[in-house]
Amino acid sequence: MTIVVTGATGNVGRPLVTELVRAGAHVRAVSRHPDTAGFPSGVEVLASAGTAMRGASAVFLNSRAVGADLAAVVDLARSAGVTRLVALSAINVDEDFSRQPSRFRGDRNREVEQYAIESGLEWVSLRPTLFAANFAGMWSSQIRAGDVVAGPYARASNAPIGERDIAGVAAKAFLTDDLVGRKVPLTGPQALTNTELVDTIGAVLDRPLRYHEVPVGVVRQRFIDIGFSAEFADAYINLLAMTVNTPALVTHEVDKILGRPAQSFAQWVDEHRAVFSR
């Protein structure tokens, strides 16, 4: 079996490549930086999805990595004889775009799922919630600088998922037929408020961290000041506002599919403690 992985150097793509190689699959990793990718031995590294399709049997579709070529890549896969597409979508894909912040950073979660379904091929759509790694991106600089994390809505909640769990489920989608034709909502094992998430990081690091709620207008302007679009800032705030009084969804699909507990946020922080270290 030859599997093409787009976005192969990303948070999900890299552990997925490793999972597939361990299972004995032949992997073609698509990377814009093929000479520095550092994949396991035996991985074929290519610079474009188009050149990777010939003779492939399945493709992992990462819409941000593929960009404007998404529809063309699906067409190429079909014409090359690919039989299965696994799409990386999102748990809130059916929500209004005004509550999908990742859309304004290049994700096309609705389109990638739709293209996969309408391709006429076997398909699986993975719908993960917020990646645990996102909290490193959002909070690590504040934690390295001090003991306070400032942000909106202290009571807003998430059930962040470890990227290796997403990759594990993606590997199952390729290596078995169990998930074919399914839209699979994936979350971490527990819904945690922003306050609880910061407390968890503090407990792992053995530091007295605390979350400080600031007005949403201040948060919006900070995003814009550091280069994010106003649309992204508004969608991020709108997404959090939905969970202030209603805990984030927890699905336990990772446990069912992988036959083991999903990685907790504390476990993820412990594995990545260097990101938060001063």
- Measured CA to CA, the distance from residue 67 to residue 108 in angstroms comes to 8
Query: What is the tens place of the pLDDT at every residue in 65-107?
Result: 999 999 999 999 999 999 999 999 999 999 999 999 999 999 9
Structure tokens at 259: 């036959």
Contact criterion met (CB below 8 Å) for 76 and 49: yes
Q: How many other C-beta atoms lie within 10 A of the C-beta of residue 182?
A: 15
User: Per the confidence metrics, is the pTM higher than 0.85?
Assistant: yes
CA-CA distances (angstroms) from residue 164 to 14, 131, 169, 220?
9, 10, 9, 31
CATH of domain 2-130+162-187+248-263: 3.40.50.720
pLDDT at position 24 is: 95
Rg for the chain, CA atoms, rounded: 19
- Measured CA to CA, the distance from residue 188 to residue 247 in angstroms comes to 13
State phi, psi for 129 to the nearest 5 degrees. Answer: -85, -165
pLDDT at position 50 is: 87
Find all residues with CB under 8 Å of 217, minimum gap 6, and list them.
Answer: none
Q: How many other C-beta atoms lie within 10 A of the C-beta of residue 76?
A: 19
pLDDT at position 32 is: 80
pLDDT at position 244 is: 96
Strands (E), 129-255: 148-151, 157-158, 183-186, 192-193, 210-213
pLDDT at position 96 is: 94
- Measured CA to CA, the distance from residue 169 to residue 70 in angstroms comes to 22
Query: Which among 17, 64, 65, 63 is positioned nearest to 42, based on CA atoms?
Result: 17
Find all residues with CB under 8 Å of 229, minimum gap 6, and list them.
Answer: 104
Query: Cα 212–11–50 angle (5° rounding)?
Result: 140
Q: Where are the domains of the chain?
A: 2-130+162-187+248-263
Query: Cα 106–226–64 angle (5° rounding)?
Result: 10
- Measured CA to CA, the distance from residue 102 to residue 106 in angstroms comes to 7
Length of the chain: 278
Strands (E), 67-197: 84-88, 122-128, 148-151, 157-158, 183-186, 192-193
Query: Which among 239, 114, 125, 134 is positioned nearest to 188, based on CA atoms?
Result: 134
Spans of the chain, pLDDT less than 50 = none
Query: Which among 6, 117, 113 is positioned nearest to 58, based on CA atoms?
Result: 6
State phi, psi for 93 to the nearest 5 degrees. Answer: -60, -30
CA-CA distances (angstroms) from residue 175 to 16, 89, 247?
12, 19, 33
